[in-house]
Amino acid sequence: MLLGSEGARIRRIHDITQPLDERTAVWPGDREVSMEWTMRRERGDSVNVAALCMSAHAGTHMDGPLHFEDGGATAADVPLEKLIGRARVIDARGRDALDVDLLEGIDAGAEERLLFRCFERVVPGRFPDPFPAVTPALAHACADAGVKLVATESPSVDTFDSKTLESHRLLQAGDVVILENVVLSDVPAGRYSLVALPLRLTDADSAPLRAVLLELEQS
């Protein structure tokens, strides 16, 4: 039996990562995902080798500070401990915006990592339009509470037409890591452990990642 933190058994693993392929929807105007084979056994090569070309923001990804702040930290500089540990999924379906009232009755700082379910079902091949963004009030509240990470099913924590990226900046000012395009379609609201590991891209603003929620059963 797999073991989680503090001796807890892992009852179930929820993969909350969008699949990546040439059908993956990207931010309008961003580079689409493309793949080609540089080696194929059917062509006489000894192995199959795929080559990928994609934006660092394709699919499920982490926004590094460099994404919206010149001189900000790169994807590789974000501490991994922010991306591993206690998490809570919050059901925010049907909302036009993710506002501070979603934290009512929740000790946000104790929960540490907050993941917002926004849609009935995420369709990776379709860009969600419209999508609910994190309001500055919610971003400020998360930062003030000491939240370590905020994740959303939306492709951005700010609105589609935002030029100032205020929610990005408020979260960063509070040292809150940002994940976007997570998939919570089959994950009930509640407590989990999150493991979300971005690629160690030393010069990139952001990074794609594989994210899972561990449903734990105390031993």
Distances (CA, A) of 197 to 60, 62, 81: 11, 9, 10
Catalytic residue among 14, 61, 67, 140: 67
CA distance 208 to 75: 9
Residues 30/179/177/108 CA torsion (nearest 10 deg) = 150
Residue 153 tokens, joined:
């099913």
Instruction: Classify the C-alpha dihedral 147-139-76-18 as positive or negative.
Output: positive
73, 202 contact by CB (below 8 A) = no
CA distance 146 to 53: 36
Active-site residue flag, 67? yes
Residue by residue, DSSP assigns 70-115 as: TTPPPGGGS-GGGGEEEEEEEE-TT-SEE-GGGGTT--HHHH-EEE
Which of the 8 DSSP states describes residue 212?
Answer: E
Residues 122/199/31/45 CA torsion (nearest 10 deg) = -110
User: Which residues are identified as catalytic?
Assistant: 67
